[in-house]
Chain A
């Protein structure tokens, strides 16, 4: 016995999807806006310094962004669930050193990458368990694991250092090589990015991450396994931080106990500049990747324009606050537009 039964009086087709288009446009606009800012910045720099967009210049730009894009992609998933992972810098550092040590002992490069990812997964699981079971704010828990992992790293590594000379030549070549101007590392990051975006849009568990970030109580009532999803988001974030560690090793060849210190703040900035809302439920990994690209480009743009790099941090900060201000204004605009539409319906 159900209440589902043949249709009663049919009603006119729902009217134009104007509100939807508006909202869609706004969110696409959000990512478009970063892209425009990025392109303008590149164009201005190119005009001032024609060397900037040489093949090597483009390659450097992409290489610099790659690692941040990866970590920001993982971080986005966590932020979408209304949490945060501050330990990604520490995880990156320790994974990089572990992979380096393994390669130094004559290990297989692929196995080294897997090792780094597994280590990241381990720390991601730890974070996820603490946050989802402990019911403690993620900010505090992952601040704790940030120090714990960094502490373990320091004790283990001591004053040792891994340099490119200790690594197999093929591994280092892979780190700097590529298909013309596009580095292999950037291709890997792009593949991960596209796959993650597809997952978030087309799979139930991906949508549930948005749902539980949007309204945790409603998520619980809808029968979403909240803890499991949060655990998965942290694990994925950790895995990407580990992968990023292996890539860091391949790219720079130089790792010590301080590698990745302070990186978490850059990652969080990239995510927020990219339009992933810090209170959860909204944003895309493409946006976060664009945010990462924008922030790292500032690093290359300023020297190319002959501006001292001491300005980099201040400019990153301004971008961050600008992004939040724009989000706030857009949100208010959308809300009032939707309200007007309601009124017209009534």
Chain B
């Protein structure tokens, strides 16, 4: 670990031994970070490594449980985002928050418009100041047009202009390039370089390693909430960086049984949804767990949604055990034996205020409805049966699912779909945000299902999970399948390489 502050000028903004916990989860553990004027600093780490918490601590959203935030070497306490902003810290989030109905100029100067006599807004001065900002950033955006309908890239430019308008000295960019095209990234980098040369300190977060190497001078790596290293990027390779980001034991968490794969159960051929994913083809066999890896935004969830029929596809076909599915029809997908456990269980997987019994019962309404009425007795026994098989921990089966822990909620979603007796099960981030114990249980369950002949497609951003559970790993990068790696060849490095688009393994 290097401490440039020992020799050089004081950092503009720094964290010293900062810790932050949310309940039992330790999001940050004794993390230190130093940002210098005129330098672009990278923050690297896997999903869940603590990057977001770190950013929010700098932005005044979170207050550290221990440790200090230092501004120009002096300890400061931010009581809210406004304090941080007043201190000259600006955060550009991946999805900017603008006022869609207001003009670009108003978005930038809201609450701080130039005034005329009697406190009236000087619309002309606001317009001119905005034009000047746009010119400084080297972009062409009409100050008077509303923010509604701006591309994400242009929205970020507006956010950056806003940061400039209050003389921000520190610019924190949280995955700004995730939704940008190549030329938009180039324009953004042009702006970032200009700001850097003008003396701004920039903290840059990206999953795309080549971008980190292109624009940053130093990098801080986080893993499991702890800082692994802060070092110059000069002389480092992408592999070095990946090794710092990943690398932990796989152990008992992944009780994968060896199964000999059977017939092809799910077959996806040249599936394309314009602008989202392109030419995606793969098979999943009975008894097989296929991992679908990739960075957030690579199009994995979108493929799953299209296969299940929630979103329509523009070209290609999907077959379940030889039966072609209808485009955009979840009910035929379900009838063919497909089940999808969605990514966001609270919003998509469960009716939070409804009881456990009724949530599990939702997928079985076809079989439990008699003469137009739900047979409550049948629904209850079916739900009890599945809740027991999955060892859901609850007080009463009639309790609302919102009273359960995250892990048990996830089990309810699984029960809901397993109760349909699926031939193909698609799980999207099955263990996100649940504790280690339940995680292992979910893995054991998936492994058991595969052993019983179910074809499982598992989408996960958790690399160890992919490596520990999957018989084969499919990797997506920017809407395309870039690699198919058998279990024996799959390592963190090969998967990350394909996921970041460096090389097809």
Contacts and interface: CB of A to CB of B under 8 A. Distances in A.
Contacts of B167: 2-4
Given A1-B169, A342-B149, A281 B37 contact: no
B98 A1 contact: no
Interface in A171-224: 202-204, 207-208, 210-211, 213-215, 217-219, 221-224
A198 B168 CA distance: 33
B113 interface: yes
Interface in A19-71: 19-20, 23
Contacts of A14: 131, 134, 140-143
Interface string B123-157: 10000000100111011111111101111001000
A2 B164 CA distance: 9
B140 A3 contact: no
A25 to B, nearest CB: 12
B85 A207 contact: no
B146 A23 contact: yes
Nearest to B119: A203
Interface in B90-131: 97-103, 106, 110-111, 113, 115, 119-121, 123, 131
Contacts of A215: 97-100
Contacts of A3: 164, 167-169, 195, 198-200
A11 B135 contact: yes
User: On chain A, which size bracket covers the interface?
Assistant: 35 or more
Given A9-B138, A14-B134, A207-B113, A342 B151 contact: yes
A138 B194 CA distance: 46
Contacts of A2: 88, 167, 169, 199
Contacts of A20: 103, 142, 144-145
A335 B149 contact: yes
A214 B154 contact: no
B82 interface: yes
B20 to A, nearest CB: 20
A339 interface: yes
B183 interface: yes
A346 interface: yes
Nearest to A7: B136
A345 B154 CA distance: 11
Contacts of A219: 99, 110
Contacts of A338: 145-146, 148-150
Contacts of A159: none
A12 interface: yes
A210 B99 contact: yes
Contacts of B119: 203-204
B183 A281 contact: no
B164 A4 contact: yes
A281 B106 CA distance: 13
A170 interface: no
A214 B169 contact: no
A306 interface: no
A105 interface: no
A211 B102 contact: yes
B451 to A, nearest CB: 46
A211 B110 contact: yes
Contact of A345 (B121, B140, B199): B140
A10 B100 contact: no
B67 interface: no
A5 interface: yes
Contacts of B142: 14-15, 17, 19-20
Contacts of B123: 202
B144 A17 contact: yes
B171 to A, nearest CB: 8
A134 interface: no
Contacts of A213: 101
B110 A207 contact: yes
B100 A281 contact: yes
A315 B205 CA distance: 57
A202 B120 contact: yes
A335 B148 contact: yes
A210 B194 CA distance: 33
Nearest to B165: A4
B101 A281 contact: yes
Nearest to A212: B99
A328 B186 CA distance: 36
Contacts of B316: none
A219 B115 CA distance: 20
B373 to A, nearest CB: 32
Nearest to B99: A214
A76 interface: no
A211 B106 contact: yes
Contacts of A202: 120-121, 123
Given A15-B140, A210-B102, A342-B151, 6 more contacts: A4-B167, A203-B120, A203-B121, A210-B99, A211-B102, A211-B106
12 contacts: A3-B164, A5-B199, A11-B140, A15-B142, A202-B120, A207-B102, A207-B110, A211-B102, A281-B99, A281-B101, A338-B145, A346-B184
Interface of B: 12, 37, 81-82, 85, 88, 97-103, 106, 110-111, 113, 115, 119-121, 123, 131, 134-136, 138-146, 148-151, 154, 164, 167-169, 183-184, 194-195, 198-200
